[in-house]
Amino acid sequence: MFPNEEQLQTMDRWLSICRQQYNSALLDKQRFYQKNKTGLSRNELQKQQTKDKQTCALLKTMPSQPLQEVLFRLEEAYKNFFEGRARYPKIKKHKDYTSITFTQFGVEERKIKSKKTGGVNVRDVRYAASLDENNHLLISKLGSVYVNVHRPLEGKVKQVTIQRQGHRWFAIFSVERHVNETVISLFNQQALM
């Protein structure tokens, strides 16, 4: 990615906000458990996050998808801990939180009912992140950032993760592809047995 200086500052600020949200949610879960001996669900944390967004101007400066994804990461960290695949979730330092994810990607045609006429119109609706034909990543509340797409994106892009590595930024696209089932001949089946 090749963001300008203002976009760099915005993305750094977004990472900082997401890290703070992660740490705050982790502490909230710990305090709630100590007090009530029950867990705090992601849904309850998202409700609190929505309330916080009404009062905190800083949270309004970034798209909602990365903020919601922070709570998903925390939920996965707890799940991995309880299933024995990881250690207990810890407070994230600046160097530990290096990416944000936009879970909805692209442009979609939608039928929208007109309130005035009652008719149905079809129009393009752009998600919080999308890629145009000139390899510019369009991100809500950030603008257009040129991306060096070094290979064609095969399939439908489902989400994009923006990651900071040192002073460089990368866009990581997750795509959904149709995989053809391979036909195994009778000869190959016998060879496998």
pLDDT digits (tens, 9 = 90+) for 147-165: 998 888 888 888 999 999 9
Could you tell me the CA-to-CA distances from 77 to 15, 72, 96 in Å, in that order?
A: 18, 9, 14
* φ, ψ dihedrals at 139, nearest 5°: -120, 130
Digit-coded pLDDT (tens) for 71-111:
999 999 999 999 999 999 999 999 999 999 999 887 777 77
Q: Which pTM value belongs to this model?
A: 0.82
Identify how many contiguous H helices and E strands the chain contains and give both numbers. Answer: 5, 8
* pLDDT tier at 173, thresholds 50, 70, 90: very high
* pLDDT tier at 24, thresholds 50, 70, 90: very high
HSE on the CB side for 53, CA within 13 Å? Answer: 17
Could you tell me the CA-to-CA distances from 182 to 4, 54, 185 in Å, in that order?
A: 46, 53, 10
Which pLDDT score, from 0 to 100, does residue 97 have?
94
